Amino acid sequence: MFGFETQRLNVIDAKNIVRDDKSATSLYVRLPELLTDEVLTTLPPYFASELAEYSAKDWVKRRLDEGEMLAIVERQSNAIIGLMFVFVETDSSDQLHLRIGYLFHKRVWGQGFASELLLGFVEHCAMRSTVASIAGGVEVGNVASARVLEKAGFELDQSQSTLETLQYVKAFVR
């Protein structure tokens, strides 16, 4: 539903990956190296606790039960370098309001992949007439992540922000 490509990334629905035994095994093996404490710091605490409690396969299943999960694959190496999470809410006029989160392997931080991912996702959603908005949150003080959202056209929504988390929204005018 939300898979797309950019210049350096293939963003693939994780449901398609887990259907293929070889690809699924690759994902499960890669998860512990991807989901380090440093990477998980700004994500919901249950992500880390569940990873310690369950197998990688069960962790993926739980994420897929919650919403959409996309594998972020670097095209050059064909390696999974991150994950994107999309939670879909439908309003009374059948318009989709998406909440997103993402993470990248620490070794690719600072290489522009987050900006490329979000710009590609916004472009993909802009072509879908049913997507009304995309929202994402960052911890107060996480200037780099806030800047990534702003570069992708998101605007700070003070009414949804808290003392701990700044909420950003990209609304599509249809």
Kindly report the CATH number assigned to the domain that includes residue 40.
3.40.630.30
Torsion sign over Cα 12, 13, 19, 22? positive
**Number of structural domains found in the chain:** 1
Listed residue (34, 90, 38) closest to 63, CA to CA = 34
Q: Are 19 and 85 in contact (CB under 8 A)?
A: no
SS3 140: coil
**R_g of the chain computed on alpha carbons:** 16
Q: Are 35 and 106 in contact (CB under 8 A)?
A: no
**Residue 87 belongs to what domain range?**
4-171
Please indicate whether residue 87 or residue 55 has the higher confidence score (pLDDT): 87
pLDDT tens profile 98-115: 999 999 999 999 999 999
3: pLDDT strictly greater than 90: yes
pLDDT tens profile 30-63: 888 898 888 888 777 777 778 777 788 988 999 9
Please, which pLDDT band fits residue 161 given cuts at 50, 70 and 90? very high
End-to-end CA distance of the chain, in Å? 20
DSSP letter string over 47-98? HHHHHHHS-HHHHHHHHHHHSEEEEEEETTTTEEEEEEEEEEEE-TTS-EEE
d(CA 123, CA 8): 15
Question: Is 0.85 surpassed by the pTM of this model?
Answer: yes
d(CA 75, CA 78): 5
